[in-house]
Amino acid sequence: MSYLISKKIGEKLIQKIINASDPYSGSLIIFTGRVRKDRVRGKYVREIEYEAYKDMAEKEIRKIEEEAKKKFKVKKVFIKHRTGKVKVGEIAFFVGVLSAHRKEGFSAIQFIVDNFKRKVPVWKKEVLSNGSTRWKEEKNV
């Protein structure tokens, strides 16, 4: 299973995760990270181009997933991150967690998102409304 995908994260994938079942899980928590129309140097973000060191990123994401399952005793974790061009409003990052109760599901989501941002080699280049670009350095975890 690949965590990094070039296709849109859309209804089909989300519905598959919503339909995932586990008789011991009463909670499904979903987080989606979308591309925002941020204002940068008087221009607006039009899209973000995501690049990744794929082999290393896949290994790191797998570690984060396994650690979240163990630490929070969640049943299933779904993680997808887009690569390539992602337009404003589209989903770039998706995390879903099936757990017995909501508390551990919310905690697992926070843990996964924070650790992804810290540890996974994924970079983003903002493409602005005038066509100029800039590499975005993530500071706010």
In the chain, where the domains are located:
4-136
Handedness of CA 111, 7, 34, 11 (dihedral sign): negative
- Give the pLDDT of residue 19: 87
pLDDT of residue 138: 60
pLDDT of res. 83: 97
Q: Which residues pair with 122 in a beta bridge?
A: 52
Q: Phi, psi at residue 11, to the nearest 5°?
A: -55, -40
- Cα separation, 101 vs 58, in Å, equals 28
pLDDT value of position 140: 45
Fold of the domain built from segment(s) 4-136: Aldehyde Oxidoreductase; domain 3 (3.90.1170)
What span, in angstroms and rounded, lies between the C-alpha atoms of 94 and 34? Answer: 9
Tokens 């979308």 sit at which residue?
A: 34
Element containing residue 58 per DSSP (H, E): helix 54-72
* 138 DSSP 8-state letter: P
pLDDT lower than 70: segments of the chain = 137-141
Q: What are the structure tokens assigned to 128, written together?
A: 């602005």
Note the pLDDT of residue 10: 86
Nearest CA to 96 out of 26, 35, 22, 27 is that of 27
Tell me the three state secondary structure of residue 25: coil
Q: What are the E-state strand segments in 26-104?
A: 27-34, 39-40, 43-52, 76-82, 84-87, 91-99
